[in-house]
Structure formats: C-alpha cells, structure tokens
Amino acid sequence: MIIKLKRLLLIFIYICIIPCTVLADDIQEETELTNAEIQETLEISSNNKDILKDINSRAYIVIDRNSNRILCGKNEFEKRKMASTTKIMTATVVIENSNLSDTVEISKKAANTGGSTLGIKTGDKITIKDLVYGLMLRSGNDCAVALAEYTGGSIEGFAELMNQKACELGLENTHFETPHGLDSENHYTTAYELAILSNYAMNNKTFAQIVGTKNYTININGYPRNINNTNELLGNLNGIYGIKTGFTNGANRCLVTCCKRNNMDIICVVLGADTKNYRTKDSIKLIEYVFKYFEPVNIEEKMKEEFLKWKNKNQNEFSIIKGKTNNIELEMEELEYSTIPILKKQISNIDISVECENKLYAPLIKNAKIGNITLKINEEIIAKANILNKNQIEKKSPYDYLLLFFKNYKTYFNKLCF
C-alpha cells in the first residue's frame, strides 16, 4: 500500500514539474466575446482618441495590403514566437508545392502530435485539401505534420521549404523549425514580417478561400465531418475575410486579420496578448482606429496632376546635346499602386517635388529615365516615380554635321546675295 502511495506521489510530482501542455486555438478554455461585448469594444474604439495606448498585445502592426505601408505599429520589428500563425506559411508552401486532390494515409507521428488537433488517427485516409482546411480552420497540429511529411518528406525537410520561401519573400527576421508553431527557440518572426507573409499568402485564391471559410465539411475515410473556423472575428466584424489565430504558452495569444471596407484593405497582426479576449479586443481597436483616422488617397492622380503642371512649364526648356532632334516627349512612370491610406490630418501635408535634368546628351533610348517625381509627407517618402522620355533620339553622325554645315552655308550665302 505504501509503495503504491509512493508511486502515485511520484507521478503527481512528475506531472507538476513537467512543462505545461502547449494549448492551441480549438481548446476553448476561454469564452468568446459576445456580440454585445464586440459592440461595446466598437463604441470604445469610436470614442477613444488615444486607443493605441490601450492595447494589451506586446507587439502589433497594421499594414495597407496595396502598398505594404505601415499604418501603425508597436514593437513590430521585434522577434517573437508566432504559435499557430506559423500555419500561414505551412499552408502557402503546401498549396504551392502539392496536389490538393491527393489522398494520404495518416502516420503515427502525425496522429500523435500534441496541442491543437483535428483528431485524425493513424491509418486515416484524407485528401490534402481537407488537411489544409483542418490546418487553417481548426488549427490542427496533426494536419500540419501530415502535410509536412507529404510535401517535404519530413518535418525537417518541410522546414527547409518554409525557410526557402521566407528567404524568397525577403523575411530576414523569420525562421521556421516546425509546420505547426509549437514553442521552439529558433522558431520566430516579427509582426511586420508576419504581415508581409500574410499579404503574400492572401494573394493566392485557394489560400484566401480556405481562411475565409467559416464552416466546412471534410471527409475522413469517406465519412463527412463539419468543422468550424477558430477565427473569432470572421463573420462577426464588418469586412473581415481571414486569416489565422494562434496560441502557445510562449507566444501567448496571436491573431492575424484581413479587413476590407470600401477602398481600404488592411492586414492587422497582434502578437503576445494575455488572453483571447484581449487579442480580439486589440484587433477590433486597431482595425477601427485605422478605418476612422485614415483615408484612401489616390497619390498617382495627385502626382500626375503635379507632373503635368511641371511639364507644361518646362517642356521647351530641354536641349539634347549632339542629338539629331530635340523632340522630347515626357511621361510619368506608372506607380506600383495608385491609392494608399493616409492619416486624415496629414493629407494637407502632402508635398510633391520634381527633379529632372534639362540638358541631355544623345543618344537617348526610348523610355530613358531623365528624372523623378517624389511624394512626401513630413519628409517621409511615400511614393517615387521615374520621369521617362518616350521618344528615341539618335546622336548626330559626321554626315549630319556635314548636312548642317551646307544648310547653314546656303542660308548664309542667300542672305549675302539678297
């Protein structure tokens, strides 16, 4: 009896001292915000001018999807654990490198993965597409491992593919070790780079469709099963259309959100919130702040208007040294994006300047860059475009100079005679 009690005591002590199980989003140990609480948060956001000071999350960022311009942020370049928001990269790599219609058999390793799971078992048969839905809607770590084994051959092989993609996207402060995001020392990102990755991922129609789905029916071994999205804002806040939740003990609560209203399309990232309610409220506050205080401005239109004024004033001031003609035809290069959100109080501070050489040397190739036009707000460069010459201008040859000499000589002789 004493031996049994000792064994039980040892088991109890062991359970107490081992690290806590890494929780994930489908474990609902916290209640969702009610519609009334969401409305209350919206009202607070609407009336609080200093709303950014009332954010619980350790790091956050909101970017404009059109231009990747940062609209607001805190500790947005600080390396942090990312929890299940990792699966944004996992799904991206799988979609780009796999056949979604393929069916796989679940391995023992995948089935025994801890944390948030879809609940698939060893030997289950399921399509890659349904695994991706299980990955993104239910945050299934078991789905993540199954997809990694299928696409990369192993977790290590898949991590290499993830890091290759990160390198391709210029994510210098992001590194992946796993496809699910359970806490690991060398598994990290920043709020900024997670936003850039998310923007890239959302440009894929398949990815966007999956993360924008509230409910979906998958099939395991031919039997249907309905699953729901863990994203608490999807379907509950105006304009939300994705993308991913996250939670581990090391990362705390994380949420990446896409929101589009009228001509503004943004991505909001919150990392390290203390609770699920905080991450929801923080996301709402940041989203509402941006849509209240920013206004979409057609900067390309403004720059073209200023360019035309400058062109009309300076068109005849150009000279092409050694050129066969002086036929300059100027145009402003198209911007990569035409409209960006700008703080309403800063719109009046927009300053547009033109820099251009008026003495040029032939030959000039078609569409040669001869200057630039820049839009700034309080000395911050918002956009810059080249000024191009549409016409090709050839350099004078010795024959051209000879013709010019005889032409001038003939003119001079005629003046003498008459």
Contact 382, 300 (CB under 8 A): no
Q: Estimate the crossing angle of helix 35-47 against helix 276-293, to 10 degrees.
A: 40
Determine how many CB atoms are found less than 10 A away from the CB of residue 100: 15
User: What angle (nearest 5°) sits at the alpha carbon of residue 316, between those of residues 312 and 322?
Assistant: 140
> Per the residue annotation, which of 87, 165, 276, 281 is the catalytic one?
87
Say how far residue 268 (Cα) sits from the centre of its chain.
Answer: 9
d(Cα 163, Cα 187) in Å, to the nearest integer? 11
107 as an active site residue: the answer is no
84 as an active site residue: the answer is yes
d(Cα 76, Cα 286) in Å, to the nearest integer? 14
Determine how many CB atoms are found less than 10 A away from the CB of residue 116: 29
Structure tokens at 168: 């391709």
Contact 121, 106 (CB under 8 A): yes
List alpha helices for 269-392, DSSP H: 276-293, 299-314
Q: What is the DSSP letter of 189?
A: B
The residues, any chain, with a CB within 8 Å of residue 262's CB and separated by 6 or more, are 296
184 as an active site residue: the answer is no
Contact 202, 259 (CB under 8 A): no
> Per the residue annotation, which of 45, 57, 67, 139 is the catalytic one?
139
Q: Which of 281, 305, 253, 261 lies closest to 58, judged by CA?
A: 253
Contact 67, 340 (CB under 8 A): yes
Any idea of the CA torsion for 155, 156, 158, 160, to the nearest 10 degrees?
Answer: 160
> Per the residue annotation, which of 84, 198, 283, 338 is the catalytic one?
84
Phi and psi, residue 350, nearest 5°: -65, 130
Q: Which residues are known catalytic residues?
A: 84, 87, 139
